[in-house]
Each structure stands twice: as C-alpha cells, then as structure tokens.
Amino acid sequence: MANFKGLAMQQTIRTLKKQGISVRAIGRMLGISRNTVRRYLPEDNSGTVQAASSNSMEASEVDIETDPPGKVPTGSVDEDQGKSSSSISARSQCKCLPYQQTIEEKIAQNLDAQRIHQDLVHEHGFDGGYDSVKRFVRRLTQVDGIAHRRMESPPGFEVQVDFGKGAWTVEENGKRRKTHMLRVVLSNSRKGYTEVVRKQDTESFIRALENALRHFGGAPKTLVPDNLKAAVILADNYDPELNPKFNSFAEHYKMAVLPTPPRRPELKGKVERGVGYAYNSALKGRTFSSLTAQNKHLRWWEERIADTRIHGTTQKQVRTAFELEKPFLQPLPAMLFPSFEEGQRIVNRDGHVEVAKSYYSAPPEFLGRKVWVRWDGRVVRVFHPVGLRMVRIHPRVEPGKFQTHYSDISPQKISRLEHGKHYLLRELESVDQHVHAWGTAMLRVRGISGIRVLQGLLNLTNKIEPSVLSRACERATQLQMWKLGELRKLAKQHPAELHPELPLTQIDPIIRDLADYTVVLDSTTTEMPCD
C-alpha cells in the first residue's frame, strides 16, 4: 500500500469518518495507527482544513504503517474530476466492511475476488462492484505479481484447452468420486466451455472437446492443448508426436494442433487462468450428487456468470465479444467424429493381433512388429505404425474367434486340403487324364471324406512314375476300386498282371454245344400253330 501524506490522506480519513466508520476501522483499512487517524480528526470540524494544512509537514513525518505497493490506489488528486481518487476507492471499499468477516472466511477457503464478489451478490445481496471487492481483497492479502508477455489472437484463430480438478461427486451410499474438469477457451473473445469427466483418456477428452465445438457453433483454425497423454504421445519443443485418434479428430474438424512446449504454461495462459477461474467461481467448496448434476450446474454458471462478466483484459462482456468472434469460426462438419477405440498391438507369431479377446490377421511383413489398431462395433482396422496407412480391414467377430484374411497366410503355410476339392482336381488334371478320372469318380462316390484321398493321390504323383500311376488309376476305375490302399497295390503290380491275356476256348463244361440249341429251336418252331 502506498504512503498517504498530507491533504489526500486527510480527505480520505474525513470521508470515511463522515460515513460513520469508526477510528479503529479506518486505521485498519488504511494501514495506519488510530492516533494518526485521530490527529486528522479535530473535534472542531470548522478548523479541520486549517489543522490539516498546518499539520501537513507533520503528517509526512508520522510513522505510518505501510503495505506493499499495489494494495490500495495512491491518494493523488484526479484533475479531471477535482476530487481525490483515493477517497473514491475508500468509499467503494467501505461497502465491503460490513462483510469483512465473510470475506476473510472466503479468503481462508482460498477463493478469489471474483468468486467472493459472486457469492456476496447471490448470498448476501451485496450491491457493490467487483472492483471494490477486488481492492478490498488485495488489502487483506499479499499478492506478488509476475509480468508475462501477453499474446493475443485474431477472431476464430485459436482455442486453448486444459484439464483441472473438478468437484467431488457424492453418491447415495456416501462414496466420493473424483472428477476432472476440462476448460475450453476461445483466445479472442474468452468465451469458455466447461465439462467434467471421470477420466482423462482420449475418448473422454475428444467427446468433451467436441461438445465444446458444438456449443460454440464452429471450430477455430488452431487448437492449443497441454501435453496430456490423451492428446500428445511424445512431447517435443518442435515436433511433438500426437495421439493418432486425437490427430484424426483435429483433421475431422480441420484444426491444426499446436501443443505447448514442455514447461511453458504461459503460452496458454488464457486457459490456465480460465481453469482456475472456473474452479474457484463455479465448483470450489461444492459437491454434487452425480456427474450430470455437476455439468448442469456448469451450464448455468457459464450462461449466467461467466458469459455476462466484463473481462478484465478485453474490458468487454464475454458474451458480446463472442458474438463478434463467432462468424469467424469454421463451419462444423455434418457428422460427429466417429466413435471408436484404438491402441497399439504387436502381431503375434500366428500372424494375428488381439482385439477385445478376438483375433485378426495382419500382413505377413508385420510379424512380430507393432501396428496401430482401431475398432468399433462393426469393423477392425489395422494401420501401419508410421503414417497410419490402413493395411487391413476385418469384420468384428465374437470373443475367442479368429478372422483371417487369405492373403495374410504365407503360401508355405497353406496345405492343399485348405485349397479345396476344385484346386486338388485341377492339380490331378495336370498329371494325367486317368488319374483325374479316378479322382473325380472316387470323390463322387465317397463325398467329403474323399477330399483327403485326393491329397494322398497327389502325394503318390511324387512317388510313382506317371505312366505306372496312370495305368493303375485306369484299372481301378474299371474295377470300381475307390480305396487309396487298393490303388497303391495296383501300382505295385506288373503291367501284365493289370491286364492278363485270357485264352479263348470254344468248349466250356458249362456251355452246351451249339447243336443242342439247334434241335431245341427246330422243335419249338414245328409245334407252333399256324394261322
């Protein structure tokens, strides 16, 4: 607090005294002793000015209790208004004196002047201004200011986001649950959006941020987040690595993501201050029955208090400034950002990745390597870890099931049986026509069980000479032998044994002589009646 000397201090003391404030209260408020106050309050009011003038030098030598600079405005005379500015501030501060105990209690709760003024208005009917409360709080507290370079943005260019702590929720069973508060602030108008969530994961972060953009009715050109894991995987001053899902979200809304460099919070000072303002003004000292109740209160607070305030830097009402900035925001896409989950996976030795207890194949070149996987209720997508180029897409399957793309299986690991009967028959056709004919006929007779027999027949082509196997298949077809073992036995026989030359004879003990058939034929003919 600056030193009060001479006429300015006299005027301030007299003004406070005329308003009925006691000597003790005046001394406490101005930071001077009661004797000093009494020295400038002679019993004869008519001689006040004369006494004050004669004692001006004495006042400069009085041992006055002082406060650090910036606590109370100096007592210089305002030439434009012809009255002491210190007396004006003193009159405004005097409105706070009846509430001093309440103010001190709220200061003890670590509430700032904005929240204190808000509570005084809504809870005690206080009719004073915010500036008077701010000056009164400054007088009662010690504040060390550090100057930072102020960075301003054109309309619709930048939005800053950051997490802070939210209020506790107390459930019906008395269980207390922690919440996290996301504050989103447009840098130009200081229009804000606040939402509390249970977790600071990527999905919660994106959905709350998307709600903010829908609340604003547009998207800015740049997005400035902190280096939280939901947005940034690897922080870097020059080339940070963004979370792929968050990066896709930003692309969906056509926003460039510019994370703040590590340990440089002043580069997003608007939201840093906004987080503290929102917590202190809206949530501090309060508990809620649910997350919904807390967010409902935040909507009311945003509309009734945060949007109606005159911002200390812009000196404009936030709501009015936002109406001027809103036309500069980019239009929102028609569709919301798709809801999906994602994560990094390692391709197992069987060529699959695990997603929600199901297994999906990846191209063979990724065996043992890391890939990025995204999934929703319908499909699973596998991406190259660099550049997020999609390399495979699968339909979702039930837990415990495998979904394998045919091209993801190495040719050396595909058995002939997996190729199916048509593939096997084409292979047999390239060997020999008799081999193919036997395989086709055998499959027609034996059905599904014959597919494995076809595979065994193909294996015989590598062990038996083609001509020998061809003759064996021809003979087996004639004899209708459909067992692979019988075919092997035929292949081992000598060619002469496969086709033996049987002697042709005219007489057989079973067959009668032809003369006997002639006699029978003649007798039958003579006995037939004639017409």
User: Each residue of 328-364: pLDDT tens digit?
Assistant: 999 999 999 988 888 889 999 889 999 989 999 999 8
| Domain identity same for 406 and 432 | no
| Domain identity same for 371 and 481 | no
Q: Quick one: pLDDT at residue 83? A: 40
Q: In the structure encoding, which two tokens stand for residue 253, read together?
A: 């809304």
Indicate whether 53 pLDDT > 50. no
User: Does some domain include residue 96?
Assistant: yes
Indicate whether 248 pLDDT > 70. yes
Q: Quick one: pLDDT at residue 190? A: 92
SS3 assignment, position 288: strand
Are 435 and 426 contacting, i.e. CB atoms less than 8 angstroms apart? no
Neighbours of 13 (CB within 10 A): 27
User: Does some domain include residue 148?
Assistant: no
| Domain identity same for 488 and 394 | no
User: Does some domain include residue 255?
Assistant: yes
Q: What is the pLDDT of residues 457-481, one digit of tens each?
A: 888 887 888 888 888 888 888 888 8
Q: Quick one: pLDDT at residue 338? A: 86
User: Does some domain include residue 206?
Assistant: yes
Q: Which of 251, 257, 252 is nearest to 228 (CA)?
A: 257
User: Does some domain include residue 195?
Assistant: yes
Domain boundary among 274, 300, 328: 328
Domain boundary among 89, 107, 140: 140
| Domain identity same for 179 and 198 | yes
Report in angstroms the alpha-carbon separations of 28 from 13, 110, 485.
12, 22, 115
Helices 113-124 and 100-108: crossing angle in degrees, nearest 10, is 130
For residue 247, what is the domain's CATH number? 3.30.420.10
Q: In angstroms, rounded to a whole number, what is the distance separating the alpha carbons of residues 306 and 221?
A: 24
| DSSP states along 151-195 | ----TTSEEEEEEEE--EEE-TTS-EE--EEEEEEETTT--EEEE
Are 32 and 64 contacting, i.e. CB atoms less than 8 angstroms apart? yes
Q: 131-158: string of b/e by CB count within 10 Å (b at 16+)? A: ebbbbbbbbeeeeeeeeeeeeebebbbb
Report in angstroms the alpha-carbon separations of 251 from 225, 314, 337, 344, 379.
15, 31, 10, 20, 21
Report in angstroms the alpha-carbon separations of 281 from 84, 192, 294, 323, 474.
33, 13, 13, 23, 96
User: Does some domain include residue 508?
Assistant: no
| Domain identity same for 308 and 424 | no
| Domain identity same for 19 and 110 | yes
Q: What is the pLDDT of residues 415-444, one digit of tens each?
A: 555 566 777 788 888 888 888 888 888 888
- Region 52-63: mean pLDDT is 36
Tally of structural domains, the chain = 4
| Domain identity same for 181 and 273 | yes
Q: Quick one: pLDDT at residue 417? A: 56
| Domain identity same for 263 and 378 | no
| Domain identity same for 390 and 482 | no
Instruction: Determine the residue type at 173.
Output: N
Q: Quick one: pLDDT at residue 81? A: 37
For residue 395, what is the domain's CATH number? 2.40.50
72, HSE (Cβ side, Cα atoms, 13 Å): 28
Q: For residue 86, what are the domain limits?
A: 6-140
- Measured at the CA of 128, the angle between CA 122 and CA 134, to 5 degrees, comes to 95
User: Does some domain include residue 202?
Assistant: yes
SS3 assignment, position 355: strand
| Domain identity same for 403 and 428 | no
Quote the pTM value.
0.49
Q: What are phi and psi for residue 514, nearest 5 degrees?
A: -65, -25
Is residue 306 exposed (0-12), middle (13-18) or buried (19+ Cβ within 10 Å)? Answer: buried
User: In sequence order, what are the residues at sequence separation of 6 or more whose Cβ sits closer than 8 angstroms to the Cβ of residue 367?
Assistant: 347, 349, 351
Indicate whether 49 pLDDT > 50. no
| Domain identity same for 304 and 355 | no
| Domain identity same for 199 and 231 | yes
Q: What is the pLDDT of residues 366-412, one digit of tens each?
A: 999 999 999 987 899 999 988 788 999 999 988 999 998 878 876 65
Report in angstroms the alpha-carbon separations of 469 from 106, 428, 438.
101, 12, 11
CA dihedral 179, 199, 176, 304 (to 10 degrees): 20
Entry field: residues in the chain = 531
Q: Which residue has the higher pLDDT, 365 or 40?
A: 365
User: Does some domain include residue 519?
Assistant: no
Q: Give the DSSP letter of residue 500.
A: -
Domain boundary among 413, 438, 465: 413
Q: Quick one: pLDDT at residue 512? A: 63
